[in-house]
Structures are given as structure tokens and as C-alpha cells.
């Protein structure tokens, strides 16, 4: 076990997760529901299979899937469906709040619920230590949330719209809260998928990649939820025409950037699986919190780079940076446990 290596691997995934929404800015003419489900097809269906085929021993993936307990597979899909509601509304939170504030609120709650509930349900002896570790993360989130409230007060409506085209604070916060709570189900999916991991290990899978087969089922569930909603919107808004009415160059452009977004999104859980395998048992419970904390920190750095905080006072930026530092430190402080 190498905790530092584990954290660094999780950090690599966080860079992808915090950056996945950026390629959407290059998508042309498509409605939100069109480019969202396009990246979902790549992130939740195609790419998980590609990575599993690459990193699982040759010829072993299908036997692993066949031998894995049906209950584990169904529960992974079930929690994936629940997470799908979080993933779906997570996209809406970023749409209405921007990369920085949207990710901070949604992922903050996702970190708290996703980290605390499994040990509570399982009666983990490290529950007190877990609460302390998560509390440090939540402290950083509160600081960033305060910076977000100052931002809202200091920026004019025109500046808000310039930074985030569809900025809507109240609607965005409510959606982000729901997204954060439901997104925590992804970690429950990992818990449910542990029997699948055991089968994968028995077939000679490198422990670094033991979670890849589980991801196939969790993400399938999430795709189902998102597909139903996005097709509904495509029909309601008549945006299904997005897929065939624009020129070939626009289609190629949009497919490329939604693929890139999907790849960046998926990498967070690929590297999370690798990093988790390097964490000792006493620290593994914090893996989810570490991932979410680093996602928030990096997304806020992106928010600054994308000028989402343009027009605010220096004091507000300082508070934001302090929050980012606390979150980053929280990922390493839990190592002391």
C-alpha cells in the first residue's frame, strides 16, 4: 500500500472530472440535451467497455461478467440509475451556476453523503475518524460557498450572464443540492459491486483495475436515466433534429468534443479505482471524499481560468483560494488517520 501514490492517482482523475465540462464550450448549435447524452454515450457506455477490454486480462472480461453474482450486478445497476438522477441534474447545476460554484455545492454534498453513509450502515469502527476527515472537507466547501455568495452580490446581472450564459442562482443551488445527494449513490454502487471485483481478481486482474468491470454496470444504470430524460427533451423541444440537420463539419466537431468530455469524465473513476487500490484499509473509507475534494478544488481553478469570477473583489478571490487550499490539504490530512 502506498497512500501518497493513491492520492496522486485520484488527483489525476480529479483533473479529468473538473475539466470535463470545458470541451462543451466548443460544441456548436446543439441543445444541452443533445450534447449531454452524446457525451454520456461515450462516458457511460463505450469508454467503460474499451478500458475494461484494455486493462482486464485478455479473454477474461466476459467470463468475469458471467460469473459475477447477479445480485451484485443488479444492485450496481440500481445504484447507477439513482446516481443517474444526480449526474443528470449535476449537468444542469453547472449550466445554471457555472463550473466553479456548481461543482462546489454538488460535489461537496456528494462527498459528505458518499463517504459517511457506507460506514454508518456497515458499522465501521473508524466512523469518528471518518466524520473528522469529512468535516475538514466540508469546511473547505463552506468557505468556497461563502465566496460564491459574495460573488453573486458583487457581480452585476450582465457580468453573471457573461460568465455563465444561463446563470440562475436559486434554481442552480436547489438543483446542485439534489445532484449532490443523488450522486453519492455512485459510491454505493462501488460498495455493491465488490463481489464483481472479487471475481475480477480471481481471474488475474491487476488490483489497480479491479473496479473496471463494476463500472460497466454502474454506468449502464446512469445512462438509462439520462437517456430517458434527454430523449424526452429532444422530443419536447424538437431538438432531435440536432443529430442530422447540421453540416458534417458541425457534427464531427460536436462528436469530437463530446467524446473528449466523456473521456475526461470517465478518467476520474478509472484513476479513482487505481488510487483506491493503493490506500490502506484504514484510509480507504476516505477515498471518495478525497476524489470529491480534489474535484472541487480543481474545478474552482478552472472557474478562475474561465473568468467565471471576473468582476469580483480581491477579497472574494482570496476567500475562494483559501477554500481551495483547505480542500486540497484535506485530501492529505486524512492520511494522518
Find out whether 158 and 311 touch, Cβ atoms under 8 Å: no
State the DSSP code for 46.
I
Helix (H) or strand (E) holding 230: helix 212-236
Q: Which of 67-71, 113-117, 240-244 has the lowest mean pLDDT?
A: 113-117
Find out whether 91 and 85 touch, Cβ atoms under 8 Å: no
Q: Which pLDDT value is given to residue 323? A: 82
- pLDDT tens digits, 246-282: 888 999 999 999 999 999 999 988 998 898 888 876 6
- pTM to 2 decimal places: 0.78
* Percent residues over pLDDT 90 in the chain: 40
Q: Which pLDDT value is given to residue 257? A: 96
Q: Which of 16-25, 215-224, 290-299 has the lowest mean pLDDT?
A: 290-299
Q: Band of the pLDDT at 121, cuts 50, 70, 90?
A: low
Name, in order, each residue with C-beta under 8 angstroms of 278's C-beta and a sequence gap of 6 or more: 1, 2, 3, 5, 6, 9, 208
What is the three-class DSSP state of 210?
Answer: coil
Find out whether 323 and 140 touch, Cβ atoms under 8 Å: yes
Nearest-angstrom CA–CA distance, 186 and 261: 19
pLDDT tops 60 at residue 123: no
Nearest-angstrom CA–CA distance, 82 and 87: 9
Q: Which pLDDT value is given to residue 97? A: 75
Residues 23-26: contacts with CB under 8 Å, at least 24 apart: 23/257, 23/258, 23/260, 23/261, 23/264, 24/257, 24/258, 24/261, 26/253, 26/257
The whole-number average pLDDT for the span 207-231 is 95
Three-class DSSP labels, 68-87:
CCHHHHHHHHHHHHHHHHHH
The whole-number average pLDDT for the span 145-153 is 76
Q: Which of 19-28, 126-135, 240-249 has the lowest mean pLDDT?
A: 126-135
- pLDDT tens digits, 60-97: 999 999 999 999 999 999 999 999 998 788 777 877 77
State the DSSP code for 57.
P
The whole-number average pLDDT for the span 212-233 is 95
Nearest-angstrom CA–CA distance, 118 and 120: 5
Please, what is the average pLDDT of the chain?
83
Nearest-angstrom CA–CA distance, 39 and 17: 13
The whole-number average pLDDT for the span 42-53 is 96
Nearest-angstrom CA–CA distance, 295 and 18: 5
Nearest-angstrom CA–CA distance, 177 and 112: 12
Q: Which pLDDT value is given to residue 337? A: 47
Distance of CA 120 to the CA centre of its chain: 23
- pLDDT tens digits, 274-321: 988 888 766 655 677 777 777 777 777 777 777 777 778 889 889 888
Q: Which pLDDT value is given to residue 333? A: 57
Find out whether 100 and 302 touch, Cβ atoms under 8 Å: yes
Amino acid at each position: 500500500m502506498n497512500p501518497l501514490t493513491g492520492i496522486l492517482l485520484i488527483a489525476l482523475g480529479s483533473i479529468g472530472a473538473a475539466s470535463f465540462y470545458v470541451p462543451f464550450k466548443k460544441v456548436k448549435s446543439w441543445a444541452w440535451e443533445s450534447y449531454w447524452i452524446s457525451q454520456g454515450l461515450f462516458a457511460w457506455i463505450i469508454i467503460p467497455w474499451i478500458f475494461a477490454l484494455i486493462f482486464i486480462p485478455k479473454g477474461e472480461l466476459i467470463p468475469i461478467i458471467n460469473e459475477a453474482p447477479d445480485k451484485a450486478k443488479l444492485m450496481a445497476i440500481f445504484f447507477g440509475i439513482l446516481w443517474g438522477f444526480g449526474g443528470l441534474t449535476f449537468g444542469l447545476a453547472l449550466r445554471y451556476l457555472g463550473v466553479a460554484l456548481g461543482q462546489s455545492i454538488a460535489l461537496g454534498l456528494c462527498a459528505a453523503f458518499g463517504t459517511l453513509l457506507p460506514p454508518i450502515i456497515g458499522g465501521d469502527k473508524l466512523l469518528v475518524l471518518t466524520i473528522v476527515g469529512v468535516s475538514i472537507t466540508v469546511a473547505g466547501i463552506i468557505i468556497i460557498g461563502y465566496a460564491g455568495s459574495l460573488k453573486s452580490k458583487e457581480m452585476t446581472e450582465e457580468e453573471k450572464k457573461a460568465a455563465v450564459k444561463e446563470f440562475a442562482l436559486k434554481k442552480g443551488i436547489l438543483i446542485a443540492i439534489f445532484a449532490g445527494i443523488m450522486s453519492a449513490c455512485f459510491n454505493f454502487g462501488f460498495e455493491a459491486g465488490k463481489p464483481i471485483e472479487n471475481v475480477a481478481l480471481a481471474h488475474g486482474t491487476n488490483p489497480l483495475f479491479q473496479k473496471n468491470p463494476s463500472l460497466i454496470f454502474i454506468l449502464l444504470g446512469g445512462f438509462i436515466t439520462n437517456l430517458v430524460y434527454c430523449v424526452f427533451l429532444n422530443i419536447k423541444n424538437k431538438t432531435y433534429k440536432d443529430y442530422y440537420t447540421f453540416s458534417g463539419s458541425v457534427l464531427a466537431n460536436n462528436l469530437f468534443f463530446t467524446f473528449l468530455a466523456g473521456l475526461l469524465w470517465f478518467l476520474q473513476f478509472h484513476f479513482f479505482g487505481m488510487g483506491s487500490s493503493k490506500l490502506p484499509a484504514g484510509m480507504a473509507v476516505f477515498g471518495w471524499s478525497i476524489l470529491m475534494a480534489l474535484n472541487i478544488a480543481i474545478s474552482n481553478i478552472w472557474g478562475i481560468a474561465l473568468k467565471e469570477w471576473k468582476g469580483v473583489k480581491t477579497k472574494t478571490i482570496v476567500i475562494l483560494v483559501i477554500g481551495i487550499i483547505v480542500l486540497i490539504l484535506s485530501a492529505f490530512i486524512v492520511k494522518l488517520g
